[in-house]
């Protein structure tokens, strides 16, 4: 109730503004009959409140009445949050405009081809005479696209292959999450589903390996390892730290809000209370990490059955006495936020469900035999994924100052009121969170759309329309072009939340094709480019992470799983950087010096530095020197080396300088050029 007063009443009835001679900031300041507060809110007495605003929901009025009847207990003075709630990020989407996609002077075609290749695939461009529009299509459909864009998301998801902290145990089954992210980007999985599956894929689509693996988002953060000798209090504290990581990362990754600040007290700047923080904690309180089978054989079984299930479902649909429009709705997945979809599924969902018994009755004997064969192959499969499961419900307490010894009141799962219209959700808390997160009209969907659009823009232009991608709150930066941000968010939503059509629109715009200042390649892209130009790059996709050679003097860790010191370079170590093993306590020097973030928290924007150790690493790292030798053997001539490394022919002066160097040295020099490490 106090939060409702802060949101709806304190703007006009506070310690400074006393409209109607009413101050609701403290109990002592209230000079009217207490019941008049809820009766005005219920429109039983004049004046009806809030003034010139919609009537409060019945549940909100009941909460205020219960608070009044209980004696109007004020735990602290109340302050208006109305101004903070009117913050641009919480407002409904405007119509917006795409006028901001216009551009200036066009970039040179070779420059644009290089920019496009690195933006979409993270690899140097291949020689091509295709028109620019066809290059865009080819690169969007490349399997390299998913590897490139997955790396951006893995920063946000604080992904690593070990648990972190002192023990830093290797997580041998977390890689399916990374692989699922790659597949999701390559298949252009709608982003609303991508988001919801990361919160509750195990419940929303338990038989879908990608959905199950994506739930690893909740499991891939750092975790303190408890021991049998730890006290109950320490174990409880470690658990709250783990939940804080999940809650904070979820909020920053999808909504750009720093809810972690509310662990100890109400957020100082945003309309996010400590109670709302702990209500989100309650959503994940039953959730624990668990390894689950993730079998390719099971996937083959599903691929065999799905078209047959679809055919049976279509036949069952045709037999229903419904209009074509209603049947079309039932052909789509259930949308709980859509009243008609929910009603049709409630009444007819079972009738069109292609159950195993129904399916068996329609299959030929040879099809049944094949089904049994595939089912047999899927039994006992060994591939497993670190994901989550929900145990028995546990009580969640609002902790005073975040201290596990200061339990003040029990809370239940819930959302941020500033974005919640009170719609009824699924009884499963994580599923309900996914529904609220993706609900544009009565949930956080509008903010989710703005946040992911901003992330796309950032990775195409080097800077987001909002330059604080993980903070859309009142202390973050305002958008430089709010009309463009909302316009692109509408394009995303209207396009079914698919990212590739939105990216296509951006990439074909005059603004993207304009000349601009150079941007430094990220560490992983620089490493992959060196491998690609040298001819060594191993394009094998998916599977367990690969440990690459790290100098012994750089390995200082007390982790239970020590990093091996005798790794020899070979094809396995020459895979793309997205597959390199990330151990939280042991940084790969090439990555560390080139600004790869620590995977301890969500990173929406990497630091971008230019320091001497970067150049020294390119000069002295044995990996770079070995690749230069392979590059020289592959190129054969300085002219060819120029074309392969920089995508252009050398000038006469450059060719003359090259002739004075041994080819290996010359190829090594090409790797150190700004022209190689930057994209215009």
Question: Which of 427, 426, 463, 468 lies closest to 451, judged by CA?
Answer: 468
| Cα 519 from Cα 608, distance rounded (Å) | 9
pLDDT at 83 over 60: no
Residue whose pair of structure tokens reads 């750092």 in the numeric block: 222
| Cα 328 from Cα 317, distance rounded (Å) | 9
Angle subtended by helix axes 663-672 and 622-635, to nearest 10: 120
**Rounded mean pLDDT of the chain?**
88
Task: Output the pLDDT for position 228.
Answer: 60
pLDDT category of residue 303 using cuts at 50, 70 and 90 = confident
Task: Output the pLDDT for position 114.
Answer: 94
Task: Output the pLDDT for position 397.
Answer: 92
Min mean pLDDT across 509-523, 532-546, 644-658 is at 644-658
- CB atoms inside a 10 Å sphere around CB 195: 26
Backbone angles phi, psi at 522, to 5 degrees: -70, 165
Task: Output the pLDDT for position 283.
Answer: 95
- Return the percentage of the chain with pLDDT > 70, whole number: 94
pLDDT at 84 over 70: no
Average pLDDT over residues 12-16: 73
Average pLDDT over residues 595-600: 92
Task: Output the pLDDT for position 336.
Answer: 58
pLDDT at 337 over 70: no
Backbone angles phi, psi at 59, to 5 degrees: -65, -35
Own/partner contacts of 393-402, CB < 8 Å, gap of 24 or more, are 393/285, 393/286, 394/285, 394/286, 395/285, 396/278, 396/279, 396/281, 396/282, 396/285, 397/278, 398/274, 398/275, 398/278, 399/240, 399/263, 399/278, 401/264, 401/265, 402/240, 402/263, 402/264
Task: Output the pLDDT for position 67.
Answer: 79
Burial (CB count <10 Å: 0-12, 13-18, 19+), residue 182: buried
Average pLDDT over residues 278-295: 89
Task: Output the pLDDT for position 470.
Answer: 96
Task: Output the pLDDT for position 82.
Answer: 58
pLDDT at 286 over 80: yes
pLDDT at 418 over 70: yes
pLDDT tens, residue by residue, 129-167: 899 999 999 999 999 999 999 999 999 999 999 998 888
pLDDT category of residue 591 using cuts at 50, 70 and 90 = very high
Task: Output the pLDDT for position 557.
Answer: 67
Average pLDDT over residues 107-125: 95
Task: Output the pLDDT for position 335.
Answer: 61
Q: Kindly report the CA angle at 39 between 38 and 45, in degrees rounded to 5?
A: 150
pLDDT category of residue 23 using cuts at 50, 70 and 90 = confident
Gyration radius (Cα) of the chain, Å: 28
Task: Output the pLDDT for position 537.
Answer: 96
Question: Which of 55, 81, 105 lies closest to 2, judged by CA?
Answer: 81
pLDDT at 301 over 80: no
- Cβ within 8 Å of residue 119, ≥6 positions away: 148, 459, 460, 507, 679
How is residue 92 annotated by DSSP? P
The answer to whether the predicted template modeling score (pTM) of the entire model surpasses 0.85 is: no
Task: Output the pLDDT for position 356.
Answer: 87
| Cα 515 from Cα 117, distance rounded (Å) | 16
| Cα 456 from Cα 462, distance rounded (Å) | 10
Task: Output the pLDDT for position 381.
Answer: 62
How is residue 170 annotated by DSSP? B
Task: Output the pLDDT for position 285.
Answer: 94
pLDDT tens, residue by residue, 214-236: 999 999 999 987 766 678 898 88
| Cα 380 from Cα 219, distance rounded (Å) | 24
pLDDT tens, residue by residue, 250-277: 999 999 999 998 998 888 888 888 889 9
């Amino acid at each position: 109730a106090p939060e409702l007063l802060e949101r709806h009443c304190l703007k006009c009835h506070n310690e400074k503004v006393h409209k109607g001679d009413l101050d609701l900031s403290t109990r002592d300041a209230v000079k009217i009959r207490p019941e008049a507060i809820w009766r005005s809110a219920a429109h039983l007495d004049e004046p009806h409140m809030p003034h010139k605003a919609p009537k409060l929901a019945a549940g909100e009025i009941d909460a205020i009445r219960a608070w009044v009847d209980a004696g109007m207990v004020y735990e602290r003075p109340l302050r208006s949050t109305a101004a903070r709630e009117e913050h641009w990020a919480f407002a409904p989407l405007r119509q917006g405009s795409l006028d901001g996609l216009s551009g200036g002077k066009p970039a040179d075609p070779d420059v644009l081809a290089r920019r496009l290749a690195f933006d979409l695939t993270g690899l140097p461009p291949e020689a091509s005479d295709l028109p620019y529009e066809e290059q865009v299509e080819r690169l969007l459909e490349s399997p390299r696209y998913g590897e490139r864009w997955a790396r951006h998301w893995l920063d946000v998801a604080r992904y690593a292959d070990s648990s972190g902290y002192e023990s830093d145990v290797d997580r041998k089954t977390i890689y399916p999450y990374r692989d699922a992210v790659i597949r999701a980007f390559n298949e252009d999985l709608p982003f609303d589903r991508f988001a919801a599956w990361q919160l509750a894929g195990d419940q929303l689509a338990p038989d879908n390996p990608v959905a199950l693996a994506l739930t690893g988002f909740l499991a891939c953060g750092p975790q303190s390892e408890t021991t049998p000798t730890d006290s109950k209090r320490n174990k409880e504290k470690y658990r709250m730290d783990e939940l804080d990581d999940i809650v904070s990362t979820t909020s920053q990754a999808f909504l750009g809000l720093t809810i972690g600040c509310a662990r100890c007290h109400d957020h100082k700047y945003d309309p996010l209370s400590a109670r709302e923080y702990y209500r989100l904690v309650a959503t994940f309180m039953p959730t624990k990490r668990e390894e689950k089978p993730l079998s390719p054989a099971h996937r083959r079984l599903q691929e065999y059955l799905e078209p047959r299930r679809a055919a049976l479902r279509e036949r069952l649909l045709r037999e229903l006495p419904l209009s074509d429009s209603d049947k079309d709705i039932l052909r789509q997945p259930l949308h709980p936020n859509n009243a008609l979809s929910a009603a049709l599924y409630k009444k007819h969902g079972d009738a069109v469900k292609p159950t195993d018994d129904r399916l068996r009755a329609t299959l030929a004997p040879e099809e049944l035999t094949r089904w049994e064969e595939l089912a047999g192959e899927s039994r006992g499969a060994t591939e497993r994924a670190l994901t989550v499961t929900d145990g028995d419900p546990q009580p969640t307490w609002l902790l005073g100052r975040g201290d596990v010894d200061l339990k003040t009141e029990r809370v239940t799962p819930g959302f941020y009121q500033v974005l919640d219209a009170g719609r009824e959700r699924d009884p499963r808390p994580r599923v309900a969170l996914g529904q609220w997160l993706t609900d544009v009209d009565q949930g956080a969907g509008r903010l989710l759309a703005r946040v992911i659009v901003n992330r796309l823009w950032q990775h195409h232009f080097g800077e987001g329309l909002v330059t604080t991608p993980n903070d859309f709150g009142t202390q973050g930066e305002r958008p430089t072009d709010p009309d463009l941000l909302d316009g692109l968010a509408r394009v995303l939503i209207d396009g079914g939340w698919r990212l590739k059509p939105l990216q296509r629109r951006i990439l074909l715009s005059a603004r993207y094709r304009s000349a601009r200042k150079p941007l430094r390649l990220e560490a992983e892209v620089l490493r992959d480019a060196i491998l690609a130009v040298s001819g060594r790059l191993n394009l094998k996709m998916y599977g367990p992470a690969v440990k690459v050679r790290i100098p012994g003097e750089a390995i200082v860790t007390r982790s239970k799983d020590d990093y091996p010191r005798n790794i020899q370079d070979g094809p396995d170590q020459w895979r793309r950087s997205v597959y390199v093993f990330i151990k939280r306590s042991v940084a790969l020097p090439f990555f560390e010096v080139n600004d790869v973030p620590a995977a301890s928290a969500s990173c929406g924007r990497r630091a971008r530095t230019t320091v001497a150790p970067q150049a020294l690493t390119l000069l002295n790292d044995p990996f770079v020197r070995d690749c230069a030798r392979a590059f020289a053997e592959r190129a054969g001539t300085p002219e060819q080396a120029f074309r392969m490394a920089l995508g252009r022919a050398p000038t006469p002066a450059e060719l003359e300088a090259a002739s004075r160097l041994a080819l290996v040295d010359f190829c090594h020099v090409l790797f150190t050029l700004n022209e190689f490490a930057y994209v215009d």
